[in-house]
Amino acid sequence: MTAADSPATGPHTGSTATIRLRAHVAVIQGVIGSLMMLAGSVGTGWIANGSPMVRHPLVIELRVNVWGVYTCTVLLTLGAMLLIRSWLRLGQRLRGWPPGSLRTVTTAVVAWSLPLLFAVPIYSRDVYAYIGQGRLMLAGKDPYVEGISALDNWFMLGADPEWAEARTPYGPYFLWLAAAVVRLTNAQPDMSVMLFRLLAYVGVVLCLVYVPRLARLHNVNGARALWIAVANPLFLISFVASAHNDALMVGLAVAGVYFAATKHPLLGILLVTGSIGIKPITILLLPFIGLLWAGKGASWPRRFVTWAATALISFGLLALSGQVDGLGLGWAWALLDPTPGYTGYSPSGFLGQQVERAGNHFHLHGDHMAARFRRALQGGAILLVIALMFVGGDRKVVRRMAVAFTAVVLLSPIIQPWYILWLLPLLAATGIKDNWQIRSIYIVITFFVVFGAQDQLSVWPFIDLSVSVSEVAFVIAVAFTLYLALLDPRTRTLLTHGGLKGWFGRGPVRGPTDLVAPQR
């Protein structure tokens, strides 16, 4: 047993049985939150116009009446916020991470995700675009060239009109899966959503299995890593309720890194290649997989050989796969020609806005300056990846991989909420300290859950609402967040405990403390 696996000691520890009992209270509270979200999704989730659900009496009752729309909005938002609180409390109640914690966290993930597995899609309707891309494949069209508007009746299947002309950014393996789903369901939207959700859940299960194993390789408590990376509400909402294919991408990547780190490099390369075939962004992991293959104490010639072999195997498989369906390497456009624009909450987007304002203030071309600034940040991220490949030798390879991946995502102009979930498994498995690191995760997870709660709500346009549901959801989410941070006696110390030292001290790699709040 490593130090990270040992039970905590001290006056605040309590017996293992008592800690686990208290933890199960948090699990039950989280289930209540998930069930509230399930109920709320019926009135505010994304339902395809062509779905028979729109003719169900319960759906009609909740969607055509003002009281039903507001009730579902409140249920969905309060459920999400209760899930956040339950996640925080689970970490507090398992402080010290005694034996049995991993089972408790796994139970929480399964229990919290099951209601979301049957929810109407929330926080995003990308899953309906997957149906369109599967139809493109079956129609013999190239999704890397044509958007789903090339299909008859595409709008009735629930896709966001913003996807209408967009080329798919996904890899060939996901397009094969999308085509298989559409073939099995004949493009019936509700059954298609469920199958895509089950595919995403495969990624969730892979993370459940391999995040703790990868953590143990780095002397990090596996239960705590799983709690941070997989039990958090943003993961469960984005990867289960929203059915994002990123779940499968992340699960395959984490499994591949684990096998590469345990001297099974070929299996690791195959799994990471599978991840690239879902979404190409995980191509960034390949250089570090090559370093793991080279092994400790490897000479530079050996490292270059393993880098070349890793690239040859991975790209060779992807190239052969492209010949099967005739799409070639069309997926590479997603790396070479990324989506234009930016999100205002990304570091690149926000700082670029300030550069543009400053440039305009001095009568310069602020928009051009901002564009160059954002390109410079992206270039800096790529340089950091290259530096981390060469600096550090054979030490902390997976940690360097995680930092490189984080830099590329965080310095990109566009960050979707679920992009953060690409990073968490690798960062959590290699150690997140109990200082600014874990507190930043609390803030980021809460921010994106609050953001999604008011950003992605589906209300039929003919409903006359005196106050928009987005405003209702925003007020509820912000009020609950302030309650957690300032009033709740059990969570308000999470960001303030220890003062500045708590934020900027070295901090052990452990769960959040609960030294002040009573345990009940």
Q: Of 377, 434, 432, 443, which Cα lies nearest the Cα of 410?
A: 377
Q: What's the Cα-to-Cα distance from 330 to each of 325, 356, 394, 446, rounded to whole Å?
A: 11, 34, 34, 36
Contact residues for 313 (Cβ-Cβ < 8 A; gap 6+): 266, 269, 270, 273
353 Cα distance to chain centroid: 26
Q: Which residues contact 433 (CB under 8 A, 6 or more apart)?
A: 506, 507, 508, 509
Between 155 and 317, residue with greater pLDDT: 317
- Domain edges within the chain: 23-339+414-502, 342-413
402 Cβ contact partners less than 8 Å away, ≥ 6 residues apart: 423, 426, 427, 429, 430
pLDDT confidence band for 509 (50 / 70 / 90): low
pLDDT band, very low/low/confident/very high, at 167 (cuts 50, 70, 90): confident
Nearest to 45 by CA among 164, 163, 197: 197
- Cβ(203)–Cβ(248) below 8 Å: yes
Reduced to 3 states, what is the DSSP secondary structure of residue 96? coil
Cα→Cα distances 263→179, 293, 295, Å: 35, 7, 8
User: What pLDDT is stored for residue 69 in this prediction?
Assistant: 95
Angle (CA) 439-202-335 rounded to 5° is: 70
Q: CB under 8 Å to 167, separation ≥6 — which residues? A: 143, 144, 145, 146, 147, 333
34 has a pLDDT exceeding 90: yes
Give the span between the Cα atoms of 91 and 345, in whole angstroms: 27
Residue 113 in tokens: 């995700």
Measured CA to CA, the distance from residue 154 to residue 135 in angstroms comes to: 9
Mean pLDDT in the chain? 89
The one-character DSSP state at 219 is T
Tokens found for residue 166: 């967009």
Lowest mean pLDDT segment, chosen from 28-37, 383-392, 500-509: 500-509
What DSSP line would sit under 257-274, residue for residue?
Answer: HHHHHTT-HHHHHHHHHH
The pLDDT of residue 327 = 86
pLDDT at 432: 94
Q: Where are the alpha helices (DSSP H) in 118-188?
A: 126-138, 172-185
Q: Is 47 exposed, middle or buried (0-12, 13-18, 19+ CB in 10 A)?
A: buried
Q: Cα–Cα distance between 378 and 387 in angstroms, integer?
A: 14
Residue 18 confidence (pLDDT): 73
- The pLDDT of residue 276 is 96
Per-residue pLDDT band at 339 (split at 50, 70, 90): low
Residue 6 pLDDT exceeds 70 = no
Residue bearing the bigger pLDDT, 498 or 4: 498
pLDDT of 8 over the 50 cut: no
pLDDT band at 300 (very low <50, low <70, confident <90, very high): very high
DSSP state letter for 140: T
- DSSP letter at 515 equals S
Q: Collect contacts of 298-301 with beta carbons under 8 A, ≥24 apart.
A: 298/394
User: Tokens 């930092």 — which residue?
Assistant: 403
Q: What is the pLDDT of residue 447?
A: 94
Mean pLDDT of 505-510: 68
CA distance 9 to 13: 6
The confidence band for 37, taking pLDDT boundaries of 50, 70 and 90, is very high
Q: Do 276 and 171 meet the contact criterion of CB atoms below 8 Å apart?
A: yes
Closest CA to 291 of 428, 408, 385: 385
pLDDT in tens, 194-231: 999 999 999 999 999 999 999 999 999 999 999 999 99
Q: Each residue of 171-204: b (16+ CB within 10 Å) or e? A: bbbbbbbbbebbeebebbbeebbbbbbebbbebb
> Residue 221: is it exposed, middle or buried by C-beta count within 10 angstroms (0-12/13-18/19+)?
buried
**Using an 8 Å Cβ cutoff, are 486 and 492 in contact?**
yes
| pLDDT, tens digit (0-9, with 9 covering 90-100), for 435-448 | 999 999 999 999 99
> N- to C-terminal Cα distance for the chain?
30
231-261 pLDDT, tens digit per residue, is 999 999 999 999 999 999 999 999 999 999 9
Helix (H) and strand (E) counts in the chain:
21, 0
Report the alpha-carbon distance of residue 326 to residue 318 in Å, rounded. 12
Query: What is the percentage of the chain residues whose pLDDT exceeds 90?
Result: 71
CB 339 within 8 A of CB 163: no
- Which residue is associated with the tokens 């990073």? 423
* pLDDT higher at 363 or 74: 74
Distance CA 117, CA 113 (A): 6
By the 8 A CB rule, do 242 and 76 touch? no
Which of residues 236 and 340 earns the better pLDDT score? 236
The amino acid at 236: L
